[in-house]
Amino acid sequence: MQEEELKKQRVYTRRLDFYWQYIAVYAIALLVYALMKGTVSEKTISFEFWDPVVLLLLVFIISTNAALIYQYIKRKSIIISDNGFSLKTRFKEKNYPLNLIRRIAFSRERRIRTKKPARMIKIRLHNRRFPLRIRPSAFTNEKEMESDFIKLKKILREYRNLAK
């Protein structure tokens, strides 16, 4: 019985690849700036470490590394099953069964200067004033996640009809 339940659960973990992209861009910018401002003498390259641009880029690199380590340690994930969903981190897990879910809505969030809007899932709960907002693009397998929430929405509708 538990094995069947575990098979029905789908786990979606938080994507961390954009942190690596930011770190790479900042590091390349730092190298290019250091090569432009540096001096070459006697087969050695030297540059000024206390330059404000170098310090700013180093702050960006260090803060992005800290955010990556924090998110990696936290290890956020969403677990979707037929009887609700769970928001899980390494330290705690919050379950939302069907009887706590009031409504699941799909909307599009317009971002500045983007070609297409990002998908947003808003989940209204009975015990919360504001809805939970989940951006599927921030998790692995975003299309499957959206389809699983659509299935959960249909199951919720059937659950509401049976409860009446």
H or E, element range at 112: none
Residues 24, 10, single domain; the answer is: no
Which CATH number fits the domain that encloses residue 153?
2.30.29
pLDDT above 80: residue 96: yes
Which tens digit of pLDDT belongs to each residue from 35-44?
Answer: 888 877 777 7
CA distances for 106 relative to 18, 42, 97, 134, angstroms:
24, 63, 19, 10
Strand ranges, E, within the chain: 10-13, 39-41, 44-46, 77-81, 84-88, 93-97, 101-109, 118-125, 132-134
Give the domain range for residue 108: 2-14+78-163
Structure confidence at residue 29 as a pLDDT band (50, 70, 90): very high
- The model's pLDDT over 45-95, given as tens digits with 9 standing for 90+, comes to 777 778 899 999 999 999 999 999 999 999 999 999 999 999 999 999 999
Q: Are residues 68 and 122 in the same domain?
A: no
Structural domain tally of the chain? 2
